[in-house]
């Protein structure tokens, strides 16, 4: 599923089984109704950022604000069959 906000100029894809919830002061918030303890960072890495069929591990996740907008940063490894990559997104 895709969410777009032309006013705030962002878009993102969220997995099947996630549902929007309303949290005051937040633009969009989704929760996983199938696996409620699943980490959004780990899911994003495994399903969107890393190549398929690679073992991934979240190293660090952080957020920071720039001009009133919140940005998230994920650092992770993706391990193919013969070597390991370290990515910062």
Convert the pLDDT of each residue in 1-50 to its tens digit. 788 888 888 888 888 888 888 888 888 888 777 766 667 778 778 878 88
Q: Is residue 21 part of a domain?
A: yes
Residue with tokens 């878009």: 11
pLDDT tens-digit series, residues 46-75: 878 888 788 888 888 888 888 888 888 888
Per-residue confidence (pLDDT) for residue 86, from 0 to 100: 63
Per-residue confidence (pLDDT) for residue 25, from 0 to 100: 80
Structural domains counted in the chain: 2
Pairing of strands 18-21, 29-32: antiparallel
Q: Do 57 and 24 reside in the same domain of the chain? A: no
Q: Is residue 57 part of a domain?
A: yes
Containing structural domain, residue 14:
1-38
Report the DSSP beta bridge partners of residue 78. 56, 85
Q: Is residue 77 part of a domain?
A: yes
Per-residue confidence (pLDDT) for residue 14, from 0 to 100: 82
């Amino acid at each position: 599923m895709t969410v777009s906000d032309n006013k705030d100029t962002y878009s993102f894809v969220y997995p099947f089984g996630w549902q929007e919830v309303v949290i005051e002061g937040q633009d969009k918030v989704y929760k996983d109704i199938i696996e409620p303890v699943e980490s959004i960072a780990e899911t994003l890495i495994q399903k969107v950022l890393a190549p398929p069929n690679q073992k991934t591990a979240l190293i660090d996740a952080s957020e920071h604000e720039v001009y009133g907008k919140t940005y998230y940063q994920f650092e992770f490894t993706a391990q193919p069959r013969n070597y390991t990559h370290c990515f910062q997104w």
